[in-house]
A and B are shown apart, each in its own frame.
Chain A
């Protein structure tokens, strides 16, 4: 008897373990609310709380709908699992979404839901950025941005006679940047630091030479030749020839770099605009300035802008057209400033629609130098087009050889030769 009872207990335990594997009902039990699943990742501390209040208000104002917010870590595993099991969320921050040309059948074509006025306001470049290679609009535009810039300790720059606001207004070239770094070194700090040099070289190549591949299949690789090698050489020289960047930065991560910047061990670093408030607070720095990348080698740096958005997925089985309409309504709601708060502004993002952006800017009371610079970039920059998955692989190849060049293993020229050969093999 005891044996049978033990056996029964084990079976019940096992069944209980597997109970969580069942399908989740889309409708809330005992209610007729349409449930919308919504995933975000926090770009800054406190973003989650903002979203919670937005979602709470939306749920109150729309009693037929219940938005379920999930604040996810910066990890694509949950989305990968969700896509593989064909049960993605309804709406997700587009960082989570797979490569542009993957899982086409799971994505909603938002061209069916965009109005002519919205289309005009976004403009063809923003819309093109949201399209898949097959012409489906897989994401809804939320913000225009360029988040990676040089960040400078304003106190130290002024101490060495540099004018960061003038640099923001007029730009600077490579020699001027080097001169500033050397002046910083004379007052006992490292002129410049970068814990992600392959990313930075990518940005420089993109801005000075253009996108890595052409937009027409068969793709042509553009990061070749003497101009490209020159850009990498100049960056490499920061460590080995100009000695304004310590080689040690190659062995730390971005958080280590931020810590050293906060301790005033570096005058200028390459990082992300979202970190500006933190760096000012941690380092007791009166102002951290966002500085432009430098013109160099006779080339003018053109900032390429990204368009962040919301990925919208189909559900299986389909809850119906009404559900999709509710999802799109929610997406349009969260894509605009809400009660004066536009969340992407925390990292320098602005509304991508021209009219909406102007209206939002007019409402901003305190236009500080960094915001002026950001506004200027938004108007003068170019919107980067969506690149196919091959571009990610190309970046990996290029980054491999940039790392070898930056650590002194190979010369810049050799790095360019090697990556040109590898990419040509890949594109064949």
Chain B
């Protein structure tokens, strides 16, 4: 009897649990899974705005032959190759510096670093648009002080992409820094004491204790940074519209363009799926090679 009562309570709790998570699952199915499946189908059945039945890989072939696709891929890879290491190492250095500060200074530094995260990418892009203004921008004013000629940061094919990369590298390290600070706080102090007693210097301590023990956090930052950088869109859209020419056209900007300028649903969804596959592959490789001894 007691057992049956226990089972009945357990069943009720189980049902209640499922009901509570049902809305989230429903939202996931409606707003993530269904659009994903629909997009996959679209990429094999739509040409332009028309549903024309199964077209196989026609849209994918069109994507690979599109003159704007490969420059967009190249720009995205260059952007990620610079921004991702910056997103890993700069917050690490900042976190190491903040950790040794007094508590009040730590709080102040963390707040200053995190505040820009609160503002949207659009606002950041508009502010940097002013910073890069060739006539009155802050950057040309500063480099003018050291005798360098004003540059057309966003209007020159040579500097446009670098300008967007610079913006990403200098801004937006707040959340990663906070993550590193929290992770560093979890490293036992005894390890540092032992290292000090053994005569290890700062660099040896960082290399042999801090860095290896931060591996789970580094892996997380690496994966999230790659996902974020491969999906870069806002700066390209707000500041340069992918130009001049195709100098700052990224994969996501191209997807947007194909969808809203050319109404080419088949091509746009094909591009989106190619991007998704690339990101999934890279993430899986990262997990395979870097997460062997990481436990969460």
* Chain A contact residues, CB within 8 Å of chain B: 3-4, 6-7, 10-11, 13-14, 76-77, 80, 83-84, 98-99, 101-103, 198, 247-252, 256, 260, 389, 392-393, 396-397, 399-404, 406-409, 422, 425-426
Of all chain A residues, the one with the shortest Cβ separation from B30 is: A18
Residues of B within 8 A of A404 (CB): 157, 244-245
In the complex, whether B150 has a CB less than 8 A from a CB of chain A is: yes
* Chain B contact residues, CB within 8 Å of chain A: 16, 19-20, 22-23, 26-27, 48-50, 65, 67-68, 132-135, 150, 152-158, 243-247, 259-263, 265
Judging by beta carbons under 8 Å apart, are B49 and A98 in contact? yes
Judging by beta carbons under 8 Å apart, are A393 and B262 in contact? yes
Q: How far is the CA of A392 from the CA of B245 in the complex (A)?
A: 15
Residues of A within 8 A of B27 (CB): 14
Judging by beta carbons under 8 Å apart, are B152 and A247 in contact? yes
Judging by beta carbons under 8 Å apart, are A409 and B152 in contact? no
Of all chain B residues, the one with the shortest Cβ separation from A15 is: B23
Contact of B244 among A6, A77, A406 (CB under 8 A): A406
With A14-B26, A404-B245 as contacts: A251 and B259 at CB distance below 8 Å: no
Residues of B within 8 A of A14 (CB): 23, 26-27
With A400-B245, A400-B246 as contacts: A260 and B152 at CB distance below 8 Å: no
A369 CB to nearest B CB, Å: 31
B66 CB to nearest A CB, Å: 9
Residues of B within 8 A of A4 (CB): 16
B257 CB to nearest A CB, Å: 8
The 5 closest A-B pairs by CB, nearest first: A250-B155, A251-B155, A403-B244, A248-B134, A403-B245
Residues of B within 8 A of A84 (CB): 265
Most buried by B among A80, A102, A250: A250
Residue pairs across A and B with Cβ atoms less than 8 A apart, 22 shown, are A7-B19, A11-B23, A14-B26, A14-B27, A76-B261, A102-B49, A247-B152, A248-B152, A251-B133, A251-B152, A256-B133, A392-B261, A392-B262, A399-B243, A400-B68, A400-B243, A403-B157, A403-B245, A404-B244, A404-B245, A407-B155, A407-B156
Contact of B135 among A7, A248, A407 (CB under 8 A): A248
Judging by beta carbons under 8 Å apart, are A399 and B245 in contact? yes
Contact of A102 among B48, B68, B244 (CB under 8 A): B48
Q: How far is the CA of A373 from the CA of B156 in the complex (A)?
A: 36
Q: How far is the CA of A62 from the CA of B37 in the complex (A)?
A: 46
Q: How far is the CA of A40 from the CA of B158 in the complex (A)?
A: 39
Q: In the complex, given contacts A248-B135, A251-B132, what are 12 additional A-B residue pairs having Cβ atoms less than 8 angstroms apart?
A: A80-B259, A101-B48, A102-B49, A247-B155, A250-B134, A251-B153, A389-B48, A389-B262, A400-B68, A403-B244, A409-B157, A425-B65
A284 CB to nearest B CB, Å: 20
Residues of B within 8 A of A83 (CB): 49, 263
Judging by beta carbons under 8 Å apart, are A249 and B246 in contact? no
Most buried by A among B49, B150, B265: B49
Judging by beta carbons under 8 Å apart, are B260 and A252 in contact? no
Contact of A250 among B16, B22, B23, B156 (CB under 8 A): B156
Number of A-B contacts (CB under 8 A): 107
Q: How far is the CA of A252 from the CA of B48 in the complex (A)?
A: 33
Contact of B263 among A3, A10, A102, A403 (CB under 8 A): A102
Residues of B within 8 A of A252 (CB): 133-135, 155
Of all chain B residues, the one with the shortest Cβ separation from A405 is: B245
Judging by beta carbons under 8 Å apart, are A103 and B135 in contact? no
Residues of A within 8 A of B265 (CB): 84
Residues of A within 8 A of B48 (CB): 101-102, 389
Q: How far is the CA of A252 from the CA of B49 in the complex (A)?
A: 34
Judging by beta carbons under 8 Å apart, are A76 and B260 in contact? yes
Q: How far is the CA of A3 from the CA of B12 in the complex (A)?
A: 10
Q: How far is the CA of A132 from the CA of B289 in the complex (A)?
A: 56
Judging by beta carbons under 8 Å apart, are A248 and B244 in contact? no
Judging by beta carbons under 8 Å apart, are B150 and A248 in contact? yes
Judging by beta carbons under 8 Å apart, are B23 and A10 in contact? yes
A97 CB to nearest B CB, Å: 10
Most buried by B among A10, A77, A260: A10
Judging by beta carbons under 8 Å apart, are B20 and A7 in contact? yes
Of all chain A residues, the one with the shortest Cβ separation from B13 is: A3
Q: How far is the CA of A247 from the CA of B153 in the complex (A)?
A: 11
Residues of B within 8 A of A407 (CB): 152, 155-158, 244
With A7-B20, A11-B23, A389-B48 as contacts: A250 and B262 at CB distance below 8 Å: no
Residues of B within 8 A of A103 (CB): 49, 263
Q: How far is the CA of A198 from the CA of B246 in the complex (A)?
A: 13
Residues of A within 8 A of B23 (CB): 10-11, 13-14
Q: How far is the CA of A4 from the CA of B26 in the complex (A)?
A: 19
Residues of A within 8 A of B263 (CB): 80, 83, 98-99, 102-103, 389
Of all chain A residues, the one with the shortest Cβ separation from B156 is: A407
Of all chain B residues, the one with the shortest Cβ separation from A8 is: B19
Q: How far is the CA of A406 from the CA of B243 in the complex (A)?
A: 12
Residues of A within 8 A of B261 (CB): 76, 392, 396
B49 CB to nearest A CB, Å: 4
B235 CB to nearest A CB, Å: 14
Residues of B within 8 A of A99 (CB): 262-263
Residues of A within 8 A of B132 (CB): 251
Of all chain A residues, the one with the shortest Cβ separation from B15 is: A7
Residues of B within 8 A of A392 (CB): 261-262
Of all chain B residues, the one with the shortest Cβ separation from A13 is: B23
Q: How far is the CA of A201 from the CA of B156 in the complex (A)?
A: 17
Residues of B within 8 A of A400 (CB): 68, 243, 245-246
Q: How far is the CA of A77 from the CA of B237 in the complex (A)?
A: 14
Of all chain A residues, the one with the shortest Cβ separation from B71 is: A400
Judging by beta carbons under 8 Å apart, are B243 and A80 in contact? no
Judging by beta carbons under 8 Å apart, are B152 and A77 in contact? no
Judging by beta carbons under 8 Å apart, are A396 and B49 in contact? no
Q: How far is the CA of A157 from the CA of B23 in the complex (A)?
A: 67
Residues of B within 8 A of A247 (CB): 134, 152, 155
A96 CB to nearest B CB, Å: 11
Residues of A within 8 A of B67 (CB): 397, 422, 425-426
Of all chain A residues, the one with the shortest Cβ separation from B129 is: A253
Q: How far is the CA of A251 from the CA of B261 in the complex (A)?
A: 23
Residues of B within 8 A of A260 (CB): 135
A322 CB to nearest B CB, Å: 29
